[in-house]
Chains A and B, each alone.
Chain A
Amino acid sequence: MTEHLDGNVLAGPLSELFRDDMTTAIGRCAHCGDVSVLATALVYDAAPGWCVRCHACGDVLMTLVWAGDRLRIDLRGVTALEVGD
C-alpha cells in the first residue's frame, strides 16, 4: 500500500479547473492577498511574453511565454485559484 496516489488522478480535478472560463476564476495575489476574478488583472504585452499584474497592488500574478510550440505559464504570484458556481 503506497502512501500517495499517482499524479494521473489529477486529470479529473484539474480538467475541472481549466474547463471553466478562466477569466471568471478567482485568484489570490501572493503579494497583497487581494482576491479577485482574473478578468480584473492588468495584462502587459511584452511578446512573446505576457506579464499579468494584480489590479490592487501591481505585483506580478503570472507570466505567459509563447516559446515556439509551447506555452509556459508561471503562477508564482497566485497563491490560490478557485472555479465553480
Chain B
Amino acid sequence: MSIFTRGFSGRGRDDNPALPPGQYLTEDFPVLSAGPTPTVDKADWEFTITTETGETHRWNWEQFMALKIDQVDTDIHCVTRWSKLGTSWRGVSLDTLFADVETSAGYTMAHSYGGYTTNVPLDDLLDGKAWIAFEFDGEDLDPEHGGPARLLVPHLYFWKSAKWVRGLTMMENDDPGFWEQNGYHTYGDPWQEQRYW
C-alpha cells in the first residue's frame, strides 16, 4: 500500500533530500487542532516564561513587538506525513526571550490559550532553533494557524509548534504534554520518524 502511494504521488523523499522519511510534499497548509480556535485579542495577549522557582517573566503584545524580530525561512513537517518546504515566518527567537531568564531546569511545557500543552526540551528552543511566530507569508498569523502567535520549532514534528501559545513553564523532568500523554512520541524528531510511543 505504501509502495503504491509513493509510486502514485511521485514526490517521495527519493526525489528530495529535504523530505524526512515517510513524508510527502504539500503546497497547502492543513489545519489540525485538538479543540476550537480560541479568540485571543492582542490587547489581552501575553506571553510568560515561568521558572522552577516560580519567577515569571511576562511580555504584553507591545513589549513583545519591541523585541528583536527574526525573519525565519524553514521547512515544516507534520506527523500526518505532510511537509511544506521553504515556509516564511517572522517571530521573536526564544534566545531573545530567555536572555534574562535564570533556570537550571532542562525541560519546558508550552501552554496555549484553549488549554493545549506540549513538552519540549529547553535545548531544542535555544541556539536559533525556535521562535514565537506572529507572521506567516508576510501576513498576520491566522487564528486557525495559531494567531496571534504560535511556537515555531521547525526541527520537530509540527504538533510541538503549539498554536495560540501563551507561555512556557520550566520543568525538571520531561513530563508529557497533551498528545504526548495520549500516544504521540515524547520528542518527535521527523528524521527519526518519532511519531508514536
| Residues in A lying within 8 Å of B, measured CB to CB | 42, 44-49, 51, 53, 58, 60, 63, 65, 67-68, 72, 74
Contacts and interface: CB of A to CB of B under 8 A. Distances in A.
A44 B197 contact: no
Interface in B69-93: 79-80
Contacts of B183: 49, 63, 65, 67, 72, 74
B197 A67 contact: yes
A65 B159 CA distance: 13
Given A46-B32, A48-B80, A74 B182 contact: yes
Contact of A48 (B34, B79, B181): B79
**Interface size grouping (class) on chain B:** 10 to 19
Contacts of A72: 182-183
Contact of B32 (A47, A53, A65): A47
Q: Which of A46, A51, A63, A67 has the most CB of B within 10 A?
A: A46
Contact of A49 (B36, B179, B197): B179
Give the 6 A-B CB pairs with smallest separation, nearest first.
Answer: A65-B183, A67-B196, A51-B34, A72-B183, A63-B182, A46-B32
